Amino acid sequence: MKRLLIVAHAPSPNTLRLREAVENGARHPDIEAVEVVVKAPLDAGPEDVLACDAIILGTTENLGYMSGALKDFFDRSYYPCLEETQGLPFAFYIRAGHDGTGTRRAIESITTGLRWKLINEPLTCRGDYKDEFVEQCEELGMYVAASLDAGLV
């Protein structure tokens, strides 16, 4: 059994919907050998990262950066993971009211430092909330879980 960890900040009903969509996609019934663990960033730590085979990160953009909660997760996880998780497959999504680029850059910079392996184009759900965000997040979850299941990552 492989383990997929989803660490995503969900401070609003819309962002909760997106996190649930990622989880639903990852739990697709055809994906048999992947265990899915979902945590809020403040509840997740390096022990969760060390125990997973792939990770999906999710955050809002606030003041041009990732949420403080996801940053705190990185602050606590960076050094304990640095030597242990190089090559970890990961993907991420951002919910941004109007931009998202600062958050994307910040996540890319930290995960480059960690030498994690980005396996999907970053997803930015930008602008007014749309139902298509849910489909995009579901696809993201399914893609990462199916890739793990098939041994492709």
* Binding site residues, ligand FMN, CB under 6 A: 12, 14-15, 60-64, 95-100, 129
Find all residues with CB under 8 Å of 26, minimum gap 6, and list them.
4, 6, 34, 36, 56, 141, 142, 144, 145
Compare residues 89 and 100 and give the one whose CB is closer to ligand FMN: 100
What distances in angstroms separate CA 6 from CA 56, 112, 120, one per listed residue?
5, 19, 15
Whichever of 99 and 139 has its CB closer to ligand FMN, that residue is: 99
As a whole number of angstroms, the distance between CA 67 and CA 64 comes to 9
List beta partners, residue 99. none
Among residues 65 and 78, whose Cβ is nearest to ligand FMN?
Answer: 65
Q: Please, what is the minimum distance in Å from the beta carbon of residue 99 to ligand FMN?
A: 4
Closest CB to ligand FMN: residue number: 97
Q: Could you tell me which of 98, 101, 90 has the C-alpha nearest to residue 22?
A: 90
Whole-number minimum distance, CB 37 to ligand FMN, in Å?
23
Phi, psi at 89, each rounded to 5°? -70, 135
CB 141 within 8 A of CB 147: no
Residue nearer to ligand FMN on the CB measure, 45 or 122: 122
CB of 136 vs ligand FMN, minimal distance in Å = 14
Quick one: 14 or 120, whose CB is closer to ligand FMN? 14
Minimum separation from the CB atom of position 127 to ligand FMN (A): 9
Q: At 59, give phi and psi (nearest 5°).
A: -155, 155
State in angstroms the smallest separation of the CB of 8 from ligand FMN: 12
